[in-house]
Chains A and B, each alone.
Chain A
């Protein structure tokens, strides 16, 4: 019977998921710079070669503070970080105070129509260590393209989007939603993470 495939082979290629047992995921993520968040994520950091989605209720809730340690580490190591059509001006003194080496921070102006193209080009090229984009209009197919581009370019992609997209499915490897607890502090809730069930516990940036 040529059609029969050994179940071990399917398990080894991770096409089959064994219910009730967590697949062993290598803790090879890119450290986020927040110990508490690293502990929550199955890969102990940002998933490499993948798209990470940050879902925000509004701009300015601490999304950059979450990414800043990673960006600072990349740029100080001489790797390029690209911002694709940021919604505001990155304020140079503040970024520098956060430890980002502005020599390696590249800003790319693009109209909404070209921004997705530029985002994909930067991800796919492999020339950037991390690429941040604001794909407001992206549908699932476009996100899928970004995810594939991040994989082929071996690069960290961050898509910052509005929280109303949280209920739509997304091919991103990691999805974080910014919510507020009862007492009003903002926390990051893991909505989806590849390689394990999403942790119930949220990450509170100010707590650690």
Chain B
């Protein structure tokens, strides 16, 4: 593996400067408590006038009265580091952002796609300059070595492990990013470079400086693995489009909606994910209306998602004009494409069942499409249940006497003067355990019209028929 380290020496300052129209004006970031305001960072013009980090605010004003002051946001650095990690993710699948002020990219795997290292390096520099971040880049076989080399000289690159060891041996001990103040103490002990440090007996070094120094050296030279926490893109999608004018009907919303869905699907395909539930937020001048779109399975087909969202949107009454649209997807589960048989007999089918089901649910309601399954209860009204989920086979029911294919939701009186008894009775006496006690005699009857009815009567009687099903 080859690691590139992008050192961002003035991340917080660059983040402020890149949004200013004239970055050459003297500027300083101010931090610290209100009584003791000190400069956190200064730009080049301010530095030329004698300002430097750590200076008291009053002293800075005395030196350069026209300096622009911006409050330093402690969170900004890590936020911008995450932003740049997302940018770096385009160039490498393994991006580390765990060390403050720098990014690590595994670049060897990207050679095949993006070309050799000089080309990648030029590309990184070009894009960072366009983004407005000053940077130093170095490449080495281990991430720590890349970090050290980037601190030594901008543009240093070593790909051969043996050459790396030679180079590292000559690194001044204070520049080797040893943990804590170990580098300074070693320097004061008269050790100038890493070669002499490594020549020391290991147990003596461990006793004086702790195991961290030895660990650092082993990882620096590649003798031990360096476990990096790799950057993962966030599992949510949030996009907002300001319309710039008031929209009071659905049709003008469809064009921006199509673009938002397209962006979402691009994002999903980059992440190799799908979306199962998302919210379209119609923002009004004061409040907002949420349109929830839920699917049974993860999808990322733009046309399908657009159709679904559109049909949900069209059922919403717009009571107030819409000024902005926002698409929020909180859950982005992995996308599992449906597998299809190569020799599928129904090749001409143009809409697979999951998509048809989503279309039906979008118009008819979330619970409209379902299945039924038998249960083990002997009472007919409880011998079946709804199945809303779409997976899982249906287990067979225990064998029973003949049952009607149609069941009435609740029994109704059957009034027919010319009923003919076909079979029966079948005594059903059950349900004492849950309070819904049932004692019935079921008969199969034939009506005057030739219908086969499944009706019950109180035990021992043949009258007062209650119709419960049809043998259709």
Whether the pair B384, A91 counts as a contact (CB closer than 8 A) is yes
Within 8 A of B (CB), among A155-208: 180, 184, 186
Whether the pair A118, B404 counts as a contact (CB closer than 8 A) is no
Q: Which residues of A contact B375 (CB under 8 A)?
A: 92
Interface size on B, residues (CB 8 A): 53
Whether the pair A93, B374 counts as a contact (CB closer than 8 A) is yes
Q: Which residues of B contact A59 (CB under 8 A)?
A: 406, 451, 470, 472
CB A11 to nearest CB in B, in angstroms, measures 28
CA A184 to CA B370, docked complex, whole Å: 38
Whether the pair B405, A110 counts as a contact (CB closer than 8 A) is no
Question: Interface code B361-381, partner A: CB below 8 Å = 1, 0 otherwise?
Answer: 001110111111111000010
CA A183 to CA B399, docked complex, whole Å: 34
**B407 contacts chain A at the CB level, 8 A cutoff:** yes
Q: Which residues of B contact A103 (CB under 8 A)?
A: 371, 392-394
Interface size on A, residues (CB 8 A): 49
Q: Which residues of A contact B365 (CB under 8 A)?
A: 109
Whether the pair A60, B370 counts as a contact (CB closer than 8 A) is no
Whether the pair B350, A126 counts as a contact (CB closer than 8 A) is yes
CA A108 to CA B357, docked complex, whole Å: 9
CA A128 to CA B27, docked complex, whole Å: 69
**B285 contacts chain A at the CB level, 8 A cutoff:** no
CB B404 to nearest CB in A, in angstroms, measures 6
Within 8 A of B (CB), among A45-96: 57-65, 68, 79-80, 86-96
**B352 contacts chain A at the CB level, 8 A cutoff:** yes
Q: A89-B406, A154-B348 are in contact. Are A118 and B373 (CB under 8 A)?
A: no
Whether the pair B407, A89 counts as a contact (CB closer than 8 A) is yes
Whether the pair B349, A127 counts as a contact (CB closer than 8 A) is yes
**B438 contacts chain A at the CB level, 8 A cutoff:** no
CA A95 to CA B397, docked complex, whole Å: 10
Whether the pair A65, B472 counts as a contact (CB closer than 8 A) is yes
CA A9 to CA B220, docked complex, whole Å: 85
Whether the pair A64, B368 counts as a contact (CB closer than 8 A) is no
CB B124 to nearest CB in A, in angstroms, measures 48
Q: Which residue of B lies closest to A186 (CB)?
A: B450
Q: Which residues of A contact B451 (CB under 8 A)?
A: 58-61
Q: Which residues of A contact B350 (CB under 8 A)?
A: 125-126, 153
**B356 contacts chain A at the CB level, 8 A cutoff:** yes
Whether the pair A114, B374 counts as a contact (CB closer than 8 A) is no
Q: A59-B406, A90-B406, A125-B350 are in contact. Are A96 and B367 (CB under 8 A)?
A: no
CB A161 to nearest CB in B, in angstroms, measures 14
**B346 contacts chain A at the CB level, 8 A cutoff:** yes
Q: Which residue of B lies closest to A178 (CB)?
A: B450
Whether the pair B370, A64 counts as a contact (CB closer than 8 A) is no
Q: Which residue of B lies closest to A179 (CB)?
A: B450
Q: CB < 8 Å: which of B360, B363, B369, B384 contacts A92?
A: B384
CA A6 to CA B356, docked complex, whole Å: 44
CA A91 to CA B399, docked complex, whole Å: 14
CB A139 to nearest CB in B, in angstroms, measures 22
Q: A102-B371, A121-B359 are in contact. Are A89 and B408 (CB under 8 A)?
A: yes
Q: Which residues of A contact B349 (CB under 8 A)?
A: 125-127, 153-154
Whether the pair A91, B394 counts as a contact (CB closer than 8 A) is no
**B469 contacts chain A at the CB level, 8 A cutoff:** yes
Q: Which residue of B lies closest to A154 (CB)?
A: B348
Whether the pair B405, A90 counts as a contact (CB closer than 8 A) is yes
CB B27 to nearest CB in A, in angstroms, measures 62
CB A150 to nearest CB in B, in angstroms, measures 13
Q: Which residues of B contact A180 (CB under 8 A)?
A: 450
Q: Which residues of A contact B447 (CB under 8 A)?
A: 58
Whether the pair B353, A61 counts as a contact (CB closer than 8 A) is no
Whether the pair A117, B452 counts as a contact (CB closer than 8 A) is no
CA A156 to CA B470, docked complex, whole Å: 24
CA A94 to CA B349, docked complex, whole Å: 31
Within 8 A of A (CB), among B95-149: none
Whether the pair A63, B472 counts as a contact (CB closer than 8 A) is yes
Q: Which residue of A lies closest to B370 (CB)?
A: A107
Q: A89-B407, A94-B405, A180-B450 are in contact. Are A101 and B368 (CB under 8 A)?
A: no
**A136 contacts chain B at the CB level, 8 A cutoff:** no
**B449 contacts chain A at the CB level, 8 A cutoff:** yes
Q: Which residues of B contact A105 (CB under 8 A)?
A: 371-372
Whether the pair A60, B352 counts as a contact (CB closer than 8 A) is no
Whether the pair B370, A125 counts as a contact (CB closer than 8 A) is no
Q: Which residues of A contact B396 (CB under 8 A)?
A: 96
Whether the pair A60, B373 counts as a contact (CB closer than 8 A) is no
CA A60 to CA B351, docked complex, whole Å: 33
Q: CB < 8 Å: which of B353, B356, B405 contacts A64?
A: B405
CA A63 to CA B404, docked complex, whole Å: 12
Q: Which residues of A contact B369 (CB under 8 A)?
A: 106-109
**A116 contacts chain B at the CB level, 8 A cutoff:** no
Whether the pair B403, A184 counts as a contact (CB closer than 8 A) is no
Question: Could you say which of A93, A107, A118 has the most chain B C-beta atoms within 10 Å of its C-beta?
Answer: A93
Whether the pair B372, A107 counts as a contact (CB closer than 8 A) is yes
Whether the pair A108, B368 counts as a contact (CB closer than 8 A) is yes
Q: Which residue of A lies closest to B368 (CB)?
A: A109
Q: Which residues of A contact B89 (CB under 8 A)?
A: none
Q: Which residues of A contact B370 (CB under 8 A)?
A: 106-107, 109
**A97 contacts chain B at the CB level, 8 A cutoff:** yes
**In the complex, the 10 A-B pairs of residues with the closest C-beta atoms, listed nearest first:** A60-B470, A126-B349, A88-B406, A92-B384, A94-B403, A64-B472, A91-B407, A125-B351, A127-B353, A102-B394
Q: A59-B470, A60-B404, A105-B372 are in contact. List 19 more A-B contacts (CB 8 A).
A: A58-B449, A59-B472, A79-B346, A90-B406, A91-B384, A91-B404, A92-B372, A92-B394, A93-B383, A96-B396, A97-B400, A97-B402, A102-B374, A103-B371, A103-B392, A107-B371, A109-B364, A110-B368, A154-B348
A residues in contact (CB < 8 Å) with B: 57-65, 68, 79-80, 86-98, 101-103, 105-110, 114, 117-118, 121-122, 124-128, 153-154, 180, 184, 186
